[in-house]
Amino acid sequence: MKVTINEVQEIVSVLTADEQQLLKDSINCGAWGDTEEEFINSNGEQETVYCYGYCTNDAKNAGHFRGRIVASMFKSMYKKLCPENHNQIGRYISHCNDWWGDGSGDMLFIRTGYYQVFEEWARN
């Protein structure tokens, strides 16, 4: 079954308009590469799956948001989209603070099968 823009819009409908813009900014400006990360499967269990990562620190390059508001917005987004493991793991989106362990980047991950459509959504 192919994921549609409507499905992505339904997933992100829990976010405010500004949070949706910040997610778009992360996707458009922070594309990093593929990896494996933990997500929640349809049975509510954790599983390791392929995904695509986005460096959230690069979202500021879009010019929509600056300063501490960005951290606050990400925290709110993760509560809504990543309910497991202290708001780090979700069905479609997961994240990791300090991915490289040196303070240089927090990462957001979108599972394979969805990230391509999220990217299409983010371009519009």
| pLDDT for 4 | 95
Identify whether 92 is part of a domain.
no
Beta-carbon contacts of 82 under 8 Å, excluding residues fewer than 6 positions away, are: 88, 89, 90, 93, 94, 95
Residue-averaged pLDDT of the chain: 94
User: Residue 48 sits in which domain range?
Assistant: 5-84+105-123
The pTM for the full model equals: 0.94
Total domains in the fold of the chain: 1
Phi/psi-derived region of residue 28, left when phi > 0, alpha when psi is between -120 and 50, beta in every other case: alpha
Give the mean pLDDT of 17-29.
97
Q: Is residue 94 domain-resident?
A: no
**Is residue 104 predicted with pLDDT exceeding 90?**
no
Q: Tell whether 74 is covered by a domain.
A: yes
Q: pLDDT value at position 105?
A: 78
